[in-house]
């Protein structure tokens, strides 16, 4: 029972990092700054993120949310947002880069692995160890960024 209690405590602490008031202010500023460097291509986009502390480093995942169709024959369907991301400002914020790599998964792999294709940079922001993932599509389970209605209007989800 004590071991299970410790595991539960660790899990609740990690999930608490996803709540805005719990994560360090420098991460919130970093996420806000990086959101400016997503450029949707031909559509609207809303940046989503996940943040957690894993062992000795922060994991920060960034992505553009999907658009969910509301009404009509495609009701409930989601559409990924095409975008460009400028990595130069991200590298400018890191005081050290240890690794820089791409994880490319097919649609079949992504659904099995519960992850999405991403470019990952591991290093430091000041004295903080970080792993920053910029996902090509939202990770499985991420909610939509926008809802699009039959009349063509969109609104944040």
Domain count within the chain? 1
**Residues 79 and 66 sit within 8 Å (Cβ to Cβ):** yes
Q: Looking at residues 65-70, what average pLDDT do you find? A: 92
pLDDT tens-digit readout, 92-102:
999 999 999 99
Report the pLDDT value the prediction gives residue 115, as an integer from 0 to 100.
Answer: 63
d(CA 22, CA 24): 7
Report the pLDDT value the prediction gives residue 14, as an integer from 0 to 100.
Answer: 45
Domain carrying residue 83: 2-156
Q: How far is CA 69 from each of CA 10, 41, 66, 87, 148, rounded to the nearest angstrom?
A: 37, 18, 10, 30, 5
* pTM for this entry: 0.78
Angle at 106 between CA 65 and CA 98, to 5 degrees: 75
Report the pLDDT value the prediction gives residue 122, as an integer from 0 to 100.
Answer: 97
Sheet holding 146-149, edge to edge: 78-79, 67-70, 146-149, 154-156
Q: Looking at residues 68-85, what average pLDDT do you find? A: 91
Q: What is the dihedral of CA 54, 124, 32, 121, to 10 degrees?
A: -80
């Amino acid at each position: 029972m004590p071991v299970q209690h410790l595991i539960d405590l660790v899990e609740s602490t990690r999930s608490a990092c996803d709540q805005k008031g719990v994560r360090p202010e420098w991460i919130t500023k970093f996420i806000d700054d990086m959101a400016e460097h997503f450029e949707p291509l031909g559509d609207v986009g809303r940046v989503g993120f996940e943040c957690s502390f894993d062992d000795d480093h922060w994991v920060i995942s960034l992505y553009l949310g999907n658009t969910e169709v509301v009404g009509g024959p495609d009701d409930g369907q989601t559409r990924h947002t095409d975008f460009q991301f400028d990595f130069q400002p991200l590298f400018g914020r890191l005081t050290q880069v240890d690794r820089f790599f791409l994880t490319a998964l097919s649609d079949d792999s992504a659904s099995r692995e519960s992850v999405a294709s991403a470019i990952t940079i591991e290093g430091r922001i000041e004295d903080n160890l970080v792993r920053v993932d910029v996902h090509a599509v939202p990770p499985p389970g991420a909610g939509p960024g926008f809802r699009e209605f039959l009349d063509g209007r969109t609104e944040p989800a």
